[in-house]
Structure 1
């Protein structure tokens, strides 16, 4: 933004300090002058002492100055004092303003470095807490979040490029072979790879839509969404030998029904995929707490480390090996869940089960009655 040049803050503070000092000095001189005038006659007078009857010494005549005499004596010295006060106010104000604004110089330099792309720089302003220190600390915290977000976006771009390149390269190879021979199995594989690329693209669009918060807000019952997602995925769970259990109370929340259904479906689908090969269980429950509606999805499975669980919400991260087999997904399930929860001002909590598996709890603001 183009701005016309103006006076610096330091100069304006200096003039303000000096101006305030001058006003205070003028008021002080005016008060002194007013009080002096109360006891001074308008004209100068001479008082002659009377001769005592006892013949003692006669005191000298007394001269009482008038207001004009007092003004001629008082005005030059008052003007000199005010001039000295102005000079001292300007010099002292310039020094004080410079010391007061010194932290602002460091903050401005850090802001310019951040604007040029250097997010690793921090102000680290020393001293006790005041307005400038609070501003510097808030700016440092913002830089830390921006740096973390930038690193996450870089990883996301790299992983997305890898994930998209794999099905596209496979499709290209299959097309080259399909040109030479008519193979139904080859065409089926080509269809599967193409469907995976479409699923990945749609997942990226859902993730972008949730991050932008461009969705309508309505009253949504999480318990109904849990039942709908469970019924939709029940054939898939039976095919993999996983039992799905649904329970809970009515849990009304405010948000997008489509996105919250996507969130619930992703959680249930993820719990079915990453489960025991035989006899797996998925438990879906809903509950209400003061000011919150909670959706919980638990599953059985292998024992997970807490360090691994902490990374599962990153895009293209999986708790198992990166295979592209039957319904393994595109690696965006929990990333989409976290993004949707965050867009609804909610929280996502992942906890490894004591005997294996994962417990995922989504806490959303409850809808008003």
Structure 2
């Protein structure tokens, strides 16, 4: 179950393991050093470098051999000193080396039980621990931003879903208090409110699906999706008095055809709905670059500031005065485009046009394949 600690058998700490390793290595090195001294310097004080015979080791216990008898207890004392020195020095050295890791562990505990704004900010030069700490800080920053975004999204979604429910309740209360009210008008208004609620719910489900990246990747031609989205929304464009111009070339991306079609549809729908009240224009184009498939949708419209444009991909943001148009959506069109683009490891760029309107560019990982440019068509 999430949030529960994994039960493990108790074991030695990393610091104690390092201490024992240091001490053991030091004792072994000391023993080898003493053995070398005995072999090369004390063996009958000879200049020979030959390894002593087995009988030479027995002479160590011969009382008549004063040198080796003195050397053995001295060597034992040296090894004992090296063991104590290795344990103490290894403990201090291991503690100093593992201090950054201890700091990272403490930070993890603080984040688990406290605010996500805590950062390690490990000082010192760049090394493995500094890289780990910086990576942890970056992960915390992204996680904090993600949690904040989800909290805003939940609050906005609750507000948006509450609105049609409140309207429905008000209409039902009016119908109950006024039995002579036109039932046909009431049903039509309830139908419109219910349709909006269904559209909002479907948009939320689509947004969740895109964020989970639970889709199969395949080769998708963005130019064909752009044509399909344009043809689907052509009646809406004609109703709004908006002209759609399409151009471009084959641009094969790697991703989900259903999600990318939704992306193209949302962009075209957004360009139509947030255009000039009369004689507006939408430009839809595709292109292929090395390793990148590009879909660009531009539209005429009111002048937008860079600050406003930077917020349009947030959920339920519709731009200046957009709530008062009769064609405002549920406020998730560009948010869904952003999520689909990120789920495909792509890049979404929004730029205000100098003459008014918006330019949206989607860049996705592509398949290297081209065909001659398609002729421009007016719709």
Q: Who wins on radius of gyration, i.e. which is larger?
A: 1
Aligned-pair distance for 1:294?
0.5
Query: Where in structure 2 are the equivalents of 1:1-369 lying within 5 Å?
Result: 1-36=6-41, 40=45, 68-179=65-176, 180=179, 181-321=181-321, 323=323, 325-367=325-367
Whole-angstrom CA distance in 1 between matches of 2:322 and 2:250: 37
Contact 1:275–1:301 (CA under 8 A) maintained in structure 2: yes
Aligned residues: 347
Aligned-pair distance for 1:3?
1.3
CA separation of 1:325/1:280 partners in 2, compared to 1, >3 Å: closer, same or farther?
closer
Length-normalised TM-score, structure 2? 0.87
Aligned position for 2:57 = none
Aligned-pair distance for 1:368?
5.4
Aligned-pair distance for 1:117?
4.5
Structure 2 gaps, min length 5: 1-5, 47-51, 53-61, 370-379
Secondary structure of the 2:315 match is coil
Length-normalised TM-score, structure 1? 0.90
Secondary structure of the 2:345 match is coil
Contact 1:294–1:363 (CA under 8 A) maintained in structure 2: yes
Structure 1 gaps, min length 5: 43-64
Instruction: Work out which structure has the larger RCO, using CA pairs closer than 8 Å and 6 or more positions apart in sequence.
Output: 2
Contact 2:274–2:322 (CA under 8 A) maintained in structure 1: no
Aligned-pair distance for 1:321?
2.7
Aligned-pair distance for 1:97?
1.0
Secondary structure of the 1:323 match is helix
Aligned-pair distance for 1:66?
11
Aligned-pair distance for 1:70?
2.6
Query: Comparing 110-119 with 13-22, which one deviates more in the overlay?
Result: 110-119
When the two chains are superposed, the root-mean-square deviation of aligned CA atoms in Å is 1.9
CA separation of 1:171/1:324 partners in 2, compared to 1, >3 Å: closer, same or farther?
farther
Whole-angstrom CA distance in 1 between matches of 2:114 and 2:258: 37
Contact 2:42–2:67 (CA under 8 A) maintained in structure 1: no
